[in-house]
A = this chain, B = another copy of it.
């Protein structure tokens, strides 16, 4: 068994590799159209951490199912994830993803929107391909879970896009966390656990109990991700550093700053956030970053992320504590701490 430090990365490597094999069924050149299936495979081939599929497989295994029963659903989730990334990058006007230009930067918005659509339908196809292994009913139940997850995701995305469009300056912590629950936690943590448990238990487990754990884990993940955007290692992070500031993204740090800033500073902030991205200046981004530091916004966000990770560990014991000891159980228990330490 791997040491505590290497267990999470080694499980991610192993389950990620198993997922990647299944992904090949959907990302091969199925149709001689370089405007679709080439770009469709681009983001997945840039290589993610495979956190989501690994959590799905580990949950299924912790509850007693073999990897093979969960790996196609895990691959479908990775396809949904990449679909969301492609459309999110268009919607956020992001420039970089996983260390390279975003898909719309390479191919234009029209092709990128269509590629995102294609990834959604490939994900659905992967779920439908579960039928020979899982049977009709369980296959349909997993598709139902996907519909719920996708609905939460687009609702969360709409909340965040609405804040930017309205130039919202009074977002509360509770509103922020509701957005994160919908936009990040459902597909990053709640769905993987629910579907892993659903497949392993043949539908007998109550899936609602995974929502709280997934929320805590997903919130820690999102806040850490936003912190990495400000202070991470550009090469490892893969997106433009401080891109969130350029995009005016309502992160926990920005929300804190808006609450703590003086009236004069808030006025300057309002002006910055009201301007189109192209009109924002480097000096303003530097000033914004300095204000966040001065008002302790990053420090506070780090504390909140730690609190969520601790709560996730606590929930984890309630959910998985009675299961037999296993590498998968250990992996899930250690995920909250890993989420905080990843660079």
Contacts and interface: CB of A to CB of B under 8 A. Distances in A.
B91 A114 contact: yes
Contacts of A33: 155, 158-159, 162
Interface in A141-163: 143-144, 146-147, 150-151, 154-155, 157-159, 161-162
A110 interface: yes
B140 A136 contact: yes
Contact of A35 (B31, B87, B159): B159
Nearest to A83: B117
A146 B127 CA distance: 13
A188 to B, nearest CB: 17
Interface of A is mostly: helix
A90 interface: yes
Contacts of A131: 140
Q: Most chain-B Cβ atoms within 10 A of its Cβ — which of A35, A87, A137, A165?
A: A35
A130 to B, nearest CB: 10
A293 B246 CA distance: 50
A234 interface: no
Q: Which 6 A-B pairs have the closest CB atoms?
A: A35-B162, A36-B158, A91-B110, A121-B150, A118-B154, A35-B158
5 contacts: A33-B158, A92-B110, A110-B164, A128-B140, A136-B136
